[in-house]
Structure 1
């Protein structure tokens, strides 16, 4: 059986996977939701991007996990992609859930049409943290008001250094045995640049008819995709 290591995106922690964990455990898999340093119950712990990479590596090494399926959602795709190449032959597969992908020397904050200027400004104005998003940020993503309230209530400001420091990769991500899950809401489009990149990697691309936080909006459907993908 596989060992799923689940890493949620910015501002979130292990708690974000609460509705997914039972579906994976029900069929006998090991499930290890992870809170990265500086977030949720680890809020206040100093963290840079390499801290988050090491958090993932340590979670795998300390439990001596084998047949690992690394799952990175949103921001977590950046440290997960780096961690995957540092745990030897343990990853059976890497699954990126509507995630950012790391490139050597590039920071998460460098993405977007403004090159990350707005994110960097927000971090500078909030004592080095990316502030928690307002409820309106989650509109159009297939979430109920209750789900949005749950996300906002559980979120913590995100350590800014993890977003602005560059990724460190010794080999291209295309070398990973990976699948990319793209969430279609709100606009149903995968950016042309991303589509071309994924095609060049030769990864399987899977779509979900929901928004950027499927562990809340469609946990059962996401769990089934994770199970199907892990068995490939």
Structure 2
């Protein structure tokens, strides 16, 4: 049995992991889907990047003294990566699911946004609105899966996306599985590719889009189960 903390990406709460979490529990794991501050049932709670790092660490603390696997999807790779550096011996493994990774002095948006998203956040009073259903085309999702995803999506606290990260550099030496979802691009982003060159990082590919907890929840659960069994 392993404690696995599942952290969703932008706009989403713990419910996004429902099917994947069920499969992991059936495999004998203690599974802890986490809603970050300001999202889903915590909507309206003020949050910046450090708030989300604390959310992850506090959830890991609630798991008790044993080893913990942290799983971060998309945006949440940033706070999950920062939290992982602080967990010390309690950390068993990190799994990034098509996620960003913390880079010193760079925000989540800084890795890819040309300014359009940052402008939209400013125009929406500091929140990043969920996309329309049409923007999920080509990501391996059925209409029903897109509808379920959007039913749980709320505007994301913008400060968490624009605040630069301040990692210690320890992430490069931690045990990491990186899951690349191929429909969202065949290759990891440069910061991830650099880290994958290290001996403690491994790459797993999924033939699906950016939201595998919706498009292929059982296949994702199998990958997480295997990652949790790694030394």
Q: TM-score normalised by the shorter chain: which range applies?
A: over 0.9
Q: SS in structure 2 opposite 1:15? A: helix
2:13 aligned residue: 13
In the superposition, the TM-score normalised over structure 1's length comes to 0.94
Partner in structure 1 of residue 40 of structure 2: 40
Shift of 1:136: 1.1
Q: Over aligned residues, Cα RMSD in angstroms?
A: 1.4
SS at match of 1:155: coil
Q: Decide whether aligned partners of structure 1 residues 67 and 110 sit closer, same or farther in structure 2, where only a CA change above 3 A counts.
A: same
Q: TM-score, normalised by structure 2?
A: 0.95
Flag the 1:24–1:191 CA change in 2: closer, same or farther, 3 A: closer
Question: How far 1:65 moved relative to its partner?
Answer: 4.8
Name the counterpart of 1:206: 204
Aligned to 1:56: 56
- Structure 2 vs 1, CA of residues 59 and 162 (structure 1 numbering), >3 Å: closer, same or farther? same
Superposed, 1:154-173 pairs within 5 Å as 154-173=152-171
Whole-angstrom distance in 2 between the partners of 1:63 and 1:34: 12
| Inter-CA distance 36–105: structure 2 relative to 1 (3 Å threshold) | same
Q: Hey, what does 1:82 align to over in structure 2? A: 82
The count of residues paired between Structure 1 and Structure 2 equals 229
Structure 1 residues without counterparts, runs of 5 or longer: none
Q: 1:158 to 1:113 in 2, by over 3 A?
A: closer
Is the contact made by 1:138 and 1:148 (CA closer than 8 Å) also made in structure 2? Answer: yes
Q: Matched residue of 2:220: which SS?
A: helix
CA distance in structure 1 between the aligned counterparts of 2:189 and 2:58, rounded to whole angstroms: 35
Does the C-alpha gap of structure 1 residues 186 and 59 become closer, same or farther in structure 2, counting only changes over 3 Å? closer
SS in 2 for 1:221: helix
Q: CA deviation at 1:99?
A: 0.4
User: What stretches of structure 2 of length at least 5 have no aligned partner?
Assistant: none
